[in-house]
Amino acid sequence: MANHVIAENYVDFYKEKGKHTGLGAWLLTTDHKRIGIMYLVAIVTFFLVGATLGFLMRLEMLSRGRTIMDPQTYNSLFTLHGLIMIFLFIIPGIPGVFGNFFLPIMLGAKDVAFPRLNLLSWYLYISGGLFAVVSVFLKGGPIDTGWTFYVPYSIRTGTDVSWMILAAFILGLSSIITGLNFITTIHRLRAPGMGWFKMPLFAWALYATAWIQLIATPVVGITLALVAVERLIGIGLFDPSLGGDPILYQHLFWIYAHPAVYIMILPAMGVVSEIIPTFAHRTIFGYKAIAISSLAIAFVGYFVWGHHMFSSGMSDTARWIFSLTTFLVALPSGVKVFNWVATLYKGSIELGTPLLFCMAFIFLFSIGGLTGLVLGALATDIHLTDTYFVVAHFHFVVFGGGGFIFFGALHYWFPKMFGKTYNEKVSKAALGTMVIGFMLLYFTMFILGYEGMPRRYYDYLPQFATLHIVATVGSWILVGGILVMIGNLLVALKKGKKASMNPWGGRTLEWTVPSPPPVENFEEIPVITHGPYDYEYNINGDSDKMEENYH
């Protein structure tokens, strides 16, 4: 299997001459790696736009009353920020970039099952993104409904809701197609000998995610389309003045949007399950428990949507049932955390940047998950729902969890994707700065929430002033850290030393091909005889460390 002979004389996928050249080599490609890189560029761009909006909102909250913008602008900013971060950054993030680039390689395949469909998903993603951007500049002005599009407000507002709904609809299509493609790839294209339980855990996580994408996304597509129809011709499905039911809308929205939270976090959990064994240089603890807990999360995750609606006027029966299921869905996530920590036991641990990202993840995600218990309990949720407590909770989960691991994955696979190494001192310093800024920004929000600061508020009562100032200062530190992190990687792209085939000593298949990989990944399709994290079995890949390469 170790065909490192090809490492010397081969053409990597960037240099390979295909049918098209120049920009066409990218825009018309069906190579999963190029598509992954195209997602990377688009997704990081949207992340930076979203982060800028978040930064501006925090600037507005620095003082009471007007600081830099009017209320209508603030309302549009949190709406756009939420929509961009959810639909354009975190949902497509890890599957679009790292799923595309690495799933086929980790399975020992040459590409995904449907390479052309894969390119179509990217185009749909870009079109959805463009529609979203265009809607901001149309006559009605930027949408101001919050990312949840709650009726009846979304039916009554004069802003351009329908365009944004169209954008979300198209993005949903892209997500469905990616899910379909990954499911088929995993079923059909595993290398000979790779049984289900010899598959890397990242593939398991993408598999569970893909099923949610495939089954849950159509629900939101239809629901949002109905909102647009309601706006256009007033069919009276959701609008109470026409006999419709606003609570029905909330059910339909969360039937998608809660499982979607697992679309955001499961792939990140998959990445963590790859990074930890690599840096502990030992096999993962509880492989099957981690794999199966992904499926359990995906499954139970369908039955908890009502916890977003504990104060919305649902029946008391519905309230306690959803509270119970919510507590149950916490268990498989706990199982994962315990197994990750146990994987460090008696390892031989190299404290590289990607591992530090995982440690930050475990800490921040645990806070997010544990505060989720507070929100799952009825008595406390009634007090805290729709306050800053919730804003803090979901930033800890989706940003401290999913977002941090998006960048952790980038640092893990950067040498493989670009064949370059980056400065680890700078990346570690950037990460530390981000964690400090993050805690100042969002931990304060837990306290603000308990004291009664509602979310989506342009202004606040005097008793909240001090903590709002702390949070805003935190946002400066956080954004500073993000910029240093990205700057460091850009410098590495230009000036980084050449990366070896296996800089971290990983055991999964992507570390057996050159960095960057050749077009069809493998010279010959590998035959799998052992588990994915088998450190007893010695692959012949060079496991010299990145550190040594750099200095």
The residues in 366-395 that bind ligand HEM, with binding defined as CB under 6 A, are 391, 395
Length of the chain: 551
Count the neighbouring beta carbons within 10 Å of the beta carbon of residue 330: 17
**Residue 517 gets which letter from DSSP?**
P
153 binds ligand HEM (CB under 6 A): no
Residue 299 interacts with other proteins (CB under 8 A): yes or no = no
CA dihedral 437→439→444→449, nearest 10 degrees, is: 120
Give yes or no for residue 57 binding ligand HEM (CB under 6 A).
Answer: yes
Contact 287, 337 (CB under 8 A): no
In the complex, minimum distance from the CB of residue 511 to other proteins, in angstroms, rounded to a whole number: 16
Smallest distance from other proteins to CB 400, Å: 13
CB of 341 to other proteins, least distance (A): 5
The whole-angstrom separation of Cα 229 and Cα 211 is: 28
Stretch that binds other proteins, among 93-101, 395-403, 458-466, 495-503 (CB under 8 A): 458-466
414 contributes a contact to ligand HEM by CB under 6 A: no
Contacts of 398 (CB under 8 A, 6+ apart): 85, 86, 90, 261, 264, 265, 368
3-state secondary structure of 160: coil
3-state helix/strand/coil string of 280-298: HCCCCCCHHHHHHHHHHHH
96 within 8 A of 125, measured Cβ to Cβ = yes
Phi (first) and psi of residue 247, to 5 degrees: -70, -35
Taking a C-beta distance cutoff of 8 angstroms, is the pair 164, 148 a contact?
A: no
Identified binder of other proteins from the candidate list 335, 473, 483, 525, rule CB under 8 A: 335
Q: Alpha carbon 63 to chain centroid distance?
A: 32
Which residue's CB is nearer to ligand HEM, number 414 or number 458?
458
The pair of structure tokens assigned to 399 is 């940003």
Q: What is the DSSP letter of 308?
A: G
Q: Quote the CA–CA distance of 176 and 186 in Å, as a whole number.
A: 16
- 398 binds ligand HEM per the rule CB under 6 A: yes
Interacting partner of 523 out of other proteins, ligand HEM, none (Cβ under 5 to 8 A depending on kind):
none
DSSP 107: H
- Tokens 């993050």 belong to residue: 438
Query: Rule CB under 6 A: is residue 497 a binding residue for ligand HEM?
Result: no
- Residues 229-258 contacting ligand HEM, CB under 6 A: none
**Residue 452 contacts ligand HEM per CB under 6 A:** no
Using CB under 8 A as the binding rule, the residues of this chain from 135 to 174 that contact other proteins are 140-141, 144-146, 150, 152-153, 155-159
**Is residue 502 involved in binding other proteins (CB under 8 A)?**
no
Q: Measured between alpha carbons, how far is 509 from 498 in angstroms, rounded to an integer?
A: 20
- The CB-of-87 to other proteins minimum distance in angstroms stands at 19
Asked if 81 is part of the footprint of ligand HEM (rule: CB under 6 A), the reply reads yes
Task: Give, in degrees to the nearest 5, the angle at Cα 387 between 374 and 301.
Answer: 50
Sign, Cα dihedral of 412, 418, 525, 204:
positive
The one of ligand HEM, other proteins, none whose footprint includes residue 86, by CB under 5 to 8 A per kind, is ligand HEM
Q: How far is CA 134 from CA 38, 77, 163, 366, in A?
A: 21, 15, 8, 38
Give the one entry of other proteins, ligand HEM, none that residue 524 binds, where binding means its C-beta sits below a cut-off of 5 to 8 angstroms depending on kind. none
Q: Does 58 engage in binding with ligand HEM (CB under 6 A)?
A: yes
Coil, helix or strand for 303? helix
Q: Of 5, 68, 382, 527, which one interacts with other proteins (CB under 8 A)?
A: 382
Of residues 280, 478, 492, 499, which one binds ligand HEM by CB under 6 A?
478
Contact track, ligand HEM, 158-197, x by CB under 6 A: ----------------------------------------
Q: Which one, 45 or 348, has the nearer CB to ligand HEM?
A: 45
Start-to-end C-alpha separation, the chain: 31
Which of ligand HEM, other proteins, none is residue 373 near (CB under 5 to 8 Å by kind)? other proteins
Residue whose CB is less far from other proteins, 5 or 331: 331
> Amino acid identity of 376?
G
Nearest-approach distance from CB 494 to other proteins, in angstroms: 30
> Using the rule CB under 8 A, which residue among 23, 195, 345, 524 binds other proteins?
345
For other proteins, the closer CB: 359 or 492: 359
Using CA atoms, how far residue 394 sits from 189, 445, 491, 522, 529, in Å, is 36, 11, 32, 40, 41
Q: Which residues contact 425 (CB under 8 A, 6 or more apart)?
A: none
> Which of the ranges 107-115, 176-184, 362-370, 515-523 carries the binding residues for other proteins, by CB under 8 A?
362-370
Stretch that binds other proteins, among 297-305, 326-334, 407-415, 436-444 (CB under 8 A): 326-334
- With CB under 5 to 8 Å by kind, the binding choice for 361 among ligand HEM, other proteins, none is none
374 binds other proteins (CB under 8 A): yes
Among 46, 131, 147, 413, binds ligand HEM (CB under 6 A): 147
Tell me which of 110, 198, 455, 497 binds ligand HEM, using CB under 6 A: 455
**Residue 365 touches ligand HEM, criterion: CB under 6 A:** no
Of 37-45, 83-91, 128-136, 323-331, the segment contacting other proteins by CB under 8 A is 323-331
Instruction: Yes or no: say if 231 and 161 are a contact pair by the CB < 8 Å rule.
Output: yes
The answer to whether residue 338 forms part of the interface with other proteins (CB under 8 A) is yes
Among ligand HEM, other proteins, none, partner that 547 touches (CB below 5 to 8 angstroms by kind): none
The contacts of residue 326 (CB under 8 Å, 6+ apart) are 304, 307, 372, 376
Instruction: Provide the binding-site residues for ligand HEM, judged by CB under 6 A.
Output: 51, 54-55, 57-58, 78-79, 81-82, 85-86, 89-90, 146-147, 391, 395, 398-399, 403, 455-457, 475, 478-479
